[in-house]
Chains A and B, each alone.
Chain A
Amino acid sequence: MTTIAAPRNADMADERTRVRRRSVARPLLYGALVLCALLTMLPFVWVLSGSLRGLDEIRSDPGAWLPHHITLDNFIRLFRTEGFGGFLVNSVVVAVIVVAGNIVAASAAGYALAKLDFAGRRIAFGAVMASLMVPFTTVFVTQFVITVDLGLADTLTGIALPGAALPLSVFIMRQYALSVPDELLEAARIDGAGELRVFFRIFLPLAGPAVATITIMSFLYSWNNFIWPLVVAQSTSTYTLPVGLAATSQAAAHVTDYGLMLAGAIVVMLPVLVLFLFLQRYFVQGVAGTGMR
């Protein structure tokens, strides 16, 4: 919070204490930040070191911090475990449906909410905001009944569908669309372009950053979603990675096979963490987007 530029009319004594205080505060601040960062990283360190240790080693010395011998045995066993490759494929399929759905539904809805003047706009926007607030536990029983009635129980489509038009995505796109100048769209309309043409030719090419944020956020939602796939998936053939991992780990926990569990944890975590490292901006924007009311 210190102002970098010292006030001009501050007297010299004041200036000197200020500088001295800052030179003490800065290393302290860095020290605290580094400590917090290390504590935050601990689980990642544990999972990496644990997954690289052999089964005997984990059993004989479960709490050790670093592996004595590094081995990929856990990962090999993991992919030999029946169905695990299938869980991975299922997760990818569900994520593709969810992301595609969100791009289409949210681009169109967000654009309409921000840029079109029509009867029912306030109601539609209210619906978006309200559905951000409705607890999952309130709706999941009926969602399940509907999924059964649609014949989608125990299918990947049934898992993907409720997340295919997330209110957060609509909200992100609407906020972005508000920043696009009306003049651009109006000019195209005066040139005789219809609404669909204005949307596809003028608006969408400008909406790249919002589409990217929506893609990231809906992928994140789908990849990490746990409770809904847990409800819908009834056979191992439709398990997504988190559900499969939870089931695998419950089985593995009985024989305290932590190596297998931690290797599974790595496989689930890694794709998102790698994406996050490269596309951090969009993740942060997506989360901060919820706050831009």
Chain B
Amino acid sequence: MTATIGPTTPRGARRPRGARRTAVAWLFLAPFTLVFLLYTALPTVAALGFSLTDLRGTDLRHPLAVDFTGLENYLRLLADPSFLRDILNTVLFVAVGVPLTMGLGFALALALNSGIRRLRGVFRTVFFAPVVTNVVAVAMIWQYAFNANGTVNKVLGAIGFAGPNWLDDTHLAMPVVILLGVWRNFGIAMVLFLAGLQAIPQDVYEAASLDGAGRWRQLRHITLPLLMPTTLMVSVLLTVFYLQVFDEPYLLTGGGPLGSTESVALYTYQQFGVGEFGMSSAASFVTLLLVTLVSIVQFRLLRPRA
């Protein structure tokens, strides 16, 4: 660290990539690179390796002594009905959760961007607050509110409905889990949409209303097309998020009842928990594959046609 402050030869504004310059730059990058190699790059490669072996928790001291088993873990996964069910659960979480989160976030962003002044800051604070709220704490509140005698059923009872035991019902647990996901994340979508809306130049709208375009047509023909990059980004972000859903089902239901809310990430974690590291890694690669696939497809589908 001390040797780098030295005399520099005077140079022009554009300087060649000297070896020294490169060395200095990598010195700046060293702390990040170290953590990246150790905790992201190496683990990703290793996980692929692990997924092709029968590594177990008990083999940890000698990870190289395990047997190479090829695609056996993946075949076992595909033959495991509970894994297939978990994929379906995860897809359901994404397919319902992403549009709900985006729709709510977009509607609120539109409302907050519609020229209202009063309470605007308060609304934004309220809608963003769930994003920063600790999930363990919220899950606890959700359990308290959605148990058989909970607050939610109290309301339902008051208007004459007998509330079910939400989290113990194989059909109702998933909606509650999704609701928690939406509640936690719509603030992110709202903030990103708001930033996108504010980046649209105001005179485009003025020109459109001069031409007699109503608010609905302005929304359809100006706002939505110009907002496409934001929409794409938010949808990819949320999909990648939701494909990895773990906290909500783990904390609310533990994946139950009868596995009806168990996600791929939860499966991965459980395999890890029982010491099946190879299987766990294989399952995690299925998530990685899904994440990559979805990103590619969404970029293809939603890319604005030039």
A residues near B (Cβ < 8 Å) are 1-5, 7, 9-10, 26, 29-30, 32-33, 36-37, 40-44, 46-47, 50, 62-65, 101, 104-106, 108-109, 111-113, 116-121, 124, 127-128, 130-131, 133-146, 148, 161-162, 164-165, 167, 170, 182, 186, 189-190, 192-197, 199, 220, 223-224, 226-227, 231, 241-242, 245-246, 249, 253, 258, 261-262, 264-266, 268-269, 272-273, 276-277, 280, 283-284, 287-288, 290-291, 293
Contacts and interface: CB of A to CB of B under 8 A. Distances in A.
Contacts of B218: 1
B205 interface: yes
Contacts of A146: 38-39, 42-43
A137 B284 contact: yes
A164 B35 contact: yes
Given A41-B126, A47-B141, A192-B8, A223 B63 contact: no
Interface of B: 1, 4-8, 10, 13, 15, 17, 21-22, 24-26, 28-36, 38-44, 46-47, 50, 60, 63, 104, 108, 110-116, 118-119, 122-138, 140-145, 147, 149-154, 183, 188, 191-192, 195-196, 202, 205-206, 209-210, 215, 218-219, 223, 230, 233-234, 237, 240, 243-244, 246-247, 250-251, 264-265, 268-269, 272, 277, 280-281, 283-285, 287-288, 291, 295
A291 B192 contact: yes
A227 B31 contact: no
Given A7-B206, A108-B29, A293-B233, A117 B17 contact: yes
A254 to B, nearest CB: 13
A130 B47 CA distance: 16
Contact of A137 (B34, B138, B268): B268
A2 B115 contact: yes
Contact of B114 (A29, A121, A272): A29
A141 B50 contact: yes
Contacts of A253: 143
Contacts of B8: 189, 192-194
19 contacts: A2-B215, A4-B115, A7-B209, A40-B126, A43-B142, A63-B149, A64-B151, A105-B35, A108-B29, A131-B36, A138-B285, A139-B47, A192-B8, A193-B8, A242-B135, A262-B141, A265-B141, A266-B137, A290-B192
Contact of B128 (A64, A128, A145, A283): A283
Contact of A124 (B29, B110, B149, B284): B29
A63 B32 contact: no
A109 B272 CA distance: 33
Contacts of A223: 134
Question: Interface of chain B, helix or strand or loop or mixed?
Answer: helix
A92 B222 CA distance: 48
Contacts of B39: 139, 143, 146, 161-162
Interface-centre pick from B25, B136, B288 (highest chain A CB count, 10 A): B136
Interface-centre pick from B28, B112, B129, B131 (highest chain A CB count, 10 A): B28
A142 B134 contact: no
Nearest to A244: B136
Given A2-B115, A269-B133, A112 B29 contact: yes
A226 B183 contact: no
A141 B47 contact: yes
